[in-house]
Amino acid sequence: MFSPVVKALQSRYGSRRQYARLEQSSVSPDQLGPEESAFIAERDSFYMATVGQGGWPYVQHRGGPKGFLKVIDERTIAFADFSGNRQFVSAGNLTTDNRVALFLMDYPAQTRLKILGYTDIFEGEQAAEWIKRIRDPAYKAVIERVFVIRIEAFDWNCPQHITPRFTAEQIQEAVAPMERRLVELEQQNKALQVALDDLNKTR
């Protein structure tokens, strides 16, 4: 991603030396490890960027059940293209330029993973075997095609400026202990009230 013009801007604003050291000390990883695989398996959405014939970038939100983006192997991920608004912008873009960029967000942990890759789209009979591999039986959405991404590189992106956000499920998990305690206290209060009423009757 560091083109000559990007490097020039890094030099201009004082960050080039830092990134030059990183470039010399390591190669951008292209094989998912256990940490990346576990992170991907927990996501229920991601953002996907493609480029159209006119040169315009297009960013789309993709969502589904947790883990709908499947790790096939260390260099391959895949996901079902569920029936939606039928605009086919991303699918159309990828027929002329199959490069794709994904951003996977964990807002509560203020973490993001970015992935670059090349995409193959499978439909009809060609998609049948892929659909068997990635289908979630509990999710009833219609699968129209399958996107298979061969990973070129990935990187854990800077966590700065990510505002923590929580799903309804995460909020429910957080407040569940308090709700259980509230029920216990209400039961205790009810028992004490009954005991107090009985005591008052005997006076």
What pLDDT is recorded for position 26?
A: 59
177-189, pLDDT tens digit by residue? 999 999 999 999 9
- Could you please report the per-residue DSSP string of the chain? ---HHHHHHHHHHT-HHHHHHHHHH-----S--HHHHHHHHT-SEEEEEEE-TTS-EEEEEEE-STT-SEEEETTEEEEEEE--S---HHHHHHHH--EEEEEEEETTTTEEEEEEEEEEEE-HHHHHHHHHHH--TT--PPEEEEEEEEEEEEEEEP-TT------HHHHHHHHHHHHHHHHHHHHHHHHHHHHHHHHHHT-
pTM flag (> 0.75): yes
42-62, pLDDT tens digit by residue? 999 999 999 999 999 999 999
For 97-101, 107-111, 167-171, which range has the lowest pLDDT when averaged over its residues?
Answer: 167-171
Which pLDDT band, with edges at 50, 70 and 90, does 27 fall under? low
What pLDDT is recorded for position 61?
A: 95
